[in-house]
Structure 1
Amino acid sequence: MDEYAWPKGLTGPAVEAIQRSWPATVAALPVGARVGGEVIGRLPFGVFIRLDGFPDAVALAEITAMPYGLELPALGARVDGQVFWHADNHQVRVRLDEWRTSGE
């Protein structure tokens, strides 16, 4: 498997479902909300996460929020974090707990 990949046979929410549920997703997951889920995509700029309890939502943890020297979680990894933004492209932006520094 490549270092960066999508799992084979990935089925995720349709774009229309993500757009339709966006207002409810933002209301249920305000900035500061705690989230958990499974890494479903791993690309050079970050990881995509299928959020527990939100089948029509997609989260992204970008490397811009990752401290120097750490690595992206593997496909299939369970991760936890905190919502820090709602992007215009209907993504919940998350900072992973494992990326938090001791000074935060």
Structure 2
Amino acid sequence: MPEFSWPDRSLVLAPDVVDRSWPTTVSALPLGSHVSGRVIDRQPFGVFLLLDGVPNAVGLAEITAMPPRMELPTMGTTVTGEVIWHADHNHQVKIRLDEWNVQG
């Protein structure tokens, strides 16, 4: 698998499902909330996450919101962080990463 690639289609949420769930997502994850999730996509600018406990929510942890000197977490890694923004235009929950552990 290349270093950066889109995930298996079975891991990707349908855009209309994410759109319909957006009000519930924002309500469930106020700014400052602590979250965890699994990395489902790696890109040069950051990682996309399926967030635990919030169905149909997509998280994005950009490289600028990672701990200093840390590399992007790999696919399937569970990460934790803090909700720092709700991107209404594309229905993404922006996350500042804390740490991550490989789940086996």
TM range (shorter): 0.7 to 0.9
- CA drift at 1:68: 4.3
Instruction: Return the letter of the residue paired with 1:93.
Output: K
- Secondary structure of the corresponding residue to residue 98 of structure 1: strand
2:14 aligns with 14
Distance 1:52 1:67, change over 3 A: closer
| Aligned twin of 1:90 | 91
CA 1:35–1:68 in structure 2 vs 1: closer, same or farther (change >3 Å)?
closer
Deviations 1:69-90 (A, max 9, x none): 2200000001111100001210
Query: What is the letter of the counterpart of residue 25 of structure 2?
Result: T
Residues 37 and 51, structure 2, Cα contact 8 Å, conserved in 1 = yes
Per-residue CA distance 1:21-74 (angstroms, 9 max, x = gap): 101100010000111110000000000000012221100000111244220000
* Stretch moving more, 22-31 or 11-20: 11-20
Residue matched to 1:49: 49
| TM-score, L = length of structure 2 | 0.86
1:76 corresponds to: 76
Identity %: 60
TM-score by length of 1: 0.86
Q: How many residues are paired up?
A: 99
Pairwise CA distance, 1:6: 3.0
Where 2:17 maps in the other structure, the secondary structure is: helix
* Structure 1, unaligned runs of 5 or more: 100-104
2:63 corresponds to which letter in structure 1? Answer: I
Give the number of the structure whose residues are more often strand, by fraction: 2
